[in-house]
Structure 1
Amino acid sequence: MQGLRVLDLTRLLPGPVATLRLAEMGADVLKIEPPGAGDAARNMMQSAEDEVAGRPGAFYRLVNRGKRETRLDLKSEGGRAVLLALARDADVLVESFRPGVMERLGLGYETLRANNPKLVYCAITGYGAKGPFSDRAGHDLNYIAYAGVLDQIATREGDPVLPNFQIADLLGGAQAALTQILAALWQVARGGEGRFVDVSMAHQAHAYNVMAQVALANDDAAALQPGGGLLNGGVPCYNLYRTLDERWLAVGALELKFWQALCTAIGREDWARRHWSLGQAPGGSDAAALTREFAALIASETLQTWIDRLEVIDCCVSPVLTPGEAANHPLFNPEVLQALLDEAAAQREAATRRAAGQGTAAPATAPGGNPTQATQPPGKKPFNYGPWD
């Protein structure tokens, strides 16, 4: 994506992650924030140290690393003129306003397309650019609630559980936007024109709710209940088990070969034939009975004991780690998180140094920062900023 020019008018999580992925692939992403406080993510989950230092919090820095930043007042004539000039030379524009906001500002897709037919314009919204809910406010929790996803994240008693992972934002917003942007760019690369990419986080979350759709297609209401289906606790080979030290073991031995290997490793070869692929009904009496037996066995030893015994076996068993444990696990580089934060600050500083003295629009490193000219990768036509004021 080297040389790809992206205008990022998004805020918070979905859009910034989508443009982050483009930046990671080499795109030149210019994040445009309103004057004043800027993106609300700057101060969300901000540590006391960051607040004292006057820098954005880790949330903002993580999802906006590798981007250049500037401020534009799109409600002013001068700000709109600058964005129109930028859009003439851009390849992609991503925004996350409610439907109609950009049109009311005179910056809608049709206006920008008239000056740049190759522009890929992506709008990330909660409920779509059109439709009965298009004007409604919402966040991830609302989207997965409407989509029938939250209902499927539930306790054994059927109570929905609030996940600390933003499913609609990341899968339905960021990932869907990235995929559709890349598809549209492929169309442009083959000689076609740009397009309007409409990403509805609620609709995307609904589309990705595959297992629930399978249950509905099969008219299998039981599979929609916790412990009633193949992947929601209805079989012993794919389940969560509490250990002696009140930790949890994740058993994902879904295929017969993995289940047989696991049964052999724990000395219960007699359980190997009790598997869904051999006729055990998910959520049925035998599955429930064996799940209880398996749970009693796992509860007799600590998590580390089971990991020491089973991690060397190819049987799809893993510990349920905390985020802190995961960050220090050999699978992940424990220094990655801090390195990304440090890199983000270094990139902003480097971009400012490269741009010094060349114009009037700028990457902003903190609210109220003074803008300076931003530049393009070598060999690429620079963004035409036009008059700043």
Structure 2
Amino acid sequence: MSAGPLDGVRVVELGGIGPAPFACMMLADLGADVIRIDRPGAELHPVMHRNRRSIALDLKSPEGRAIAMRLVATSDVAIEGFRPGVAERLGLGPDDVSREAPHVVYGRMTGWGQDGPWAQLPGHDINYIALTGALHAIGPADGDPVVPLNLIGDFGGGGMLLAYGVLAAVVSARTTGRGQVVDAAMIDGSAALMAMLHGYLAEGRWVDERGVNHLDGGAPYYRTYACSDGRHVAVGCIEPQFYASLLEGLDLGDDPDFAAQDDRSRWPSMVHRLQAIFGSRPRDEWAEVFATSSACVTPVLSIGEAPLHPHHVERQTYTSLGEGHMARPVPRFAGTPAAEPRLAPVVGSDGLALLGELGLEAAEVRSHLEAGVVVLPPSATDEGGPR
């Protein structure tokens, strides 16, 4: 398996989509041996399911559940992203695991949490961030809330929170010998990401309206501007010295309209002036003007453009993904660097190897294959594997 700071940590991932696989990607990227239990015929995302091993099990059968539990018992962590109660009905809930393997940390990823009046309701990223105030705060003052992709609820407030919680519990388990349940809810994580704004609001430094504050696009020095070619630049010069660099680059250093950076009464006219200025030239010309400036002005790159930027190229932020790119594992470690990521496996491709690691005899393996308890991909039989 790949090197990294989590080399020696073993994780069993009970299928699922979205934030739980993202958490497992983060763990696998840093060297954890992540074994994904898939349903036969599942489709894997090439990036979100990278750096894994896969076994395809029929969890509706007692034999399939028994194999899953044996895998969990050999691991440090089990992770599931089902609705509350589903893992319990499969016989793979936290109480079941604790009886068989009390050392195992059990990570649970849900939207609304394991309890509460909405725990059983369906939902998606947009719903979780709507209920925490995050969605309300994003967008223009005179427009609707803007959907920030599914980055806040699913991945920042969800998957990363789960990975963080699981690792904290692993540290505890290695001290105490006992695992524990990690209840990671996307709504909880989204709320936690709002910590700074709650502090500002309590201090009277934030107005609970959209597009009128210094970090939500209301300030002329912290927003995007359209350029003459229809592309955009991002301006983020919050500190006075960086704001001064912006004015210098735009030849506005002596303009009285821009003398008071935080005079909110002047913000609308300042924005109007800057819209006209940035709209007079194409994006890449502005990028060149501010390339070595401390004005905090950058081009807004598309997903396809981003990996080609010289800064990313020098730092090797991305690696190839077919005709495109994917980000390399993060964060970076000086002493235990992560290996080059491997794309998602074929579903079930590691089934035989994992059964061998569990010590199953050949006759038992053959019986499971014939009964459909364990399902191998076609290539495994085409290349002379069990038939």
Q: Same fold (TM over 0.5)?
A: yes
| Residues 1:132 and 1:113: Cα distance change in structure 2 (over 3 Å) | same
The aligned amino acid for 2:54 is: E
2:75 aligned with 1:75: no
Could you tell me which of 326, 348, 355 is aligned with 2:306? 326
- Give the RMSD, CA atoms, in angstroms: 2.9
| Residues 1:231 and 1:128: Cα distance change in structure 2 (over 3 Å) | same
Q: What stretches of structure 1 of length at least 5 have no aligned partner?
A: 43-55, 373-389
Cross-structure match for 1:234: 218
Does structure 1 conserve the Cα–Cα contact (< 8 Å) formed by 2:225 and 2:279? yes
Name the CA distance, whole Å, in 2 between partners of 1:112 and 1:274. Answer: 62
Aligned to 1:63, what secondary structure does the other structure show? coil
Cross-structure match for 1:87: 72
Cross-structure match for 1:50: none
| Residues 1:130 and 1:355: Cα distance change in structure 2 (over 3 Å) | same
Name the CA distance, whole Å, in 2 between partners of 1:116 and 1:99. Answer: 21
Offset from partner CA, 1:46-91 (integer Å, 9 cap, x none): xxxxxxxxxx5xxx11111110001122222111111221222110
Cross-structure match for 2:140: 155
Does structure 2 conserve the Cα–Cα contact (< 8 Å) formed by 1:241 and 1:299? yes
2:193 aligned with 1:193: no
| Residues 1:353 and 1:12: Cα distance change in structure 2 (over 3 Å) | closer
- Aligned-residue sequence identity (percent) comes to 33
- 1:243-282 matches, cutoff 5 A: 243-271=227-255, 273-276=259-262, 280=263
Q: What stretches of structure 2 of length at least 5 have no aligned partner?
A: 1-5, 328-339, 370-374, 381-387
Aligned to 1:321, what secondary structure does the other structure show? coil
Could you tell me which of 342, 345, 356 is aligned with 1:344? 342
Could you tell me which of 16, 24, 48 is aligned with 1:19? 24
- 1:124-163 matches, cutoff 5 A: 124-163=109-148
Offset from partner CA, 1:116-162 (integer Å, 9 cap, x none): 22111000001001111111111212212222222222233230223
Name the CA distance, whole Å, in 1 between partners of 2:113 and 2:122. Answer: 11
Does structure 2 conserve the Cα–Cα contact (< 8 Å) formed by 1:33 and 1:70? yes
Aligned to 1:324, what secondary structure does the other structure show? coil
Name the CA distance, whole Å, in 1 between partners of 2:306 and 2:137. Answer: 25
Tell me the CA shift for residue 354 of structure 1: 9.3
Tell me the CA shift for residue 340 of structure 1: 6.0
Aligned to 1:274, what secondary structure does the other structure show? coil
Does structure 2 conserve the Cα–Cα contact (< 8 Å) formed by 1:212 and 1:224? no
Judge which range, 205-214 or 124-133, deviates more. 205-214
2:97 aligned with 1:99: no
Cross-structure match for 1:377: none
Does structure 2 conserve the Cα–Cα contact (< 8 Å) formed by 1:65 and 1:340? no
Does structure 2 conserve the Cα–Cα contact (< 8 Å) formed by 1:64 and 1:344? no
Offset from partner CA, 1:346-379 (integer Å, 9 cap, x none): 9669x759939945489xxxx862698xxxxxxx
The aligned amino acid for 2:235 is: V
Name the CA distance, whole Å, in 2 between partners of 1:34 and 1:371. Answer: 17
Name the CA distance, whole Å, in 1 between partners of 2:254 and 2:23. Answer: 49
Cross-structure match for 2:377: 369
How many residue pairs end up in the alignment? 341
TM-score, normalised by the number of residues in structure 2: 0.80
The aligned amino acid for 1:355 is: A
| Residues 1:165 and 1:329: Cα distance change in structure 2 (over 3 Å) | farther
Aligned to 1:151, what secondary structure does the other structure show? coil
Cross-structure match for 2:273: 293
- 1:220-231 matches, cutoff 5 A: 223-231=207-215
Give 1 or 2: higher helix fraction: 1
The aligned amino acid for 2:38 is: E
| Residues 1:169 and 1:184: Cα distance change in structure 2 (over 3 Å) | same
Does structure 2 conserve the Cα–Cα contact (< 8 Å) formed by 1:8 and 1:32? yes
Name the CA distance, whole Å, in 2 between partners of 1:90 and 1:7. Answer: 7
Cross-structure match for 2:334: none
Tell me the CA shift for residue 232 of structure 1: 1.1
Name the CA distance, whole Å, in 1 between partners of 2:246 and 2:285. Answer: 15
Offset from partner CA, 1:148-183 (integer Å, 9 cap, x none): 222222233230223334321101111000111111
Offset from partner CA, 1:95-132 (integer Å, 9 cap, x none): 01111112222222122112222111000001001111
| Residues 1:149 and 1:357: Cα distance change in structure 2 (over 3 Å) | closer
Does structure 2 conserve the Cα–Cα contact (< 8 Å) formed by 1:127 and 1:202? yes
Does structure 2 conserve the Cα–Cα contact (< 8 Å) formed by 1:152 and 1:224? yes
Does structure 2 conserve the Cα–Cα contact (< 8 Å) formed by 1:249 and 1:319? yes
Does structure 1 conserve the Cα–Cα contact (< 8 Å) formed by 2:220 and 2:267? yes
TM-score, normalised by the number of residues in structure 1: 0.79
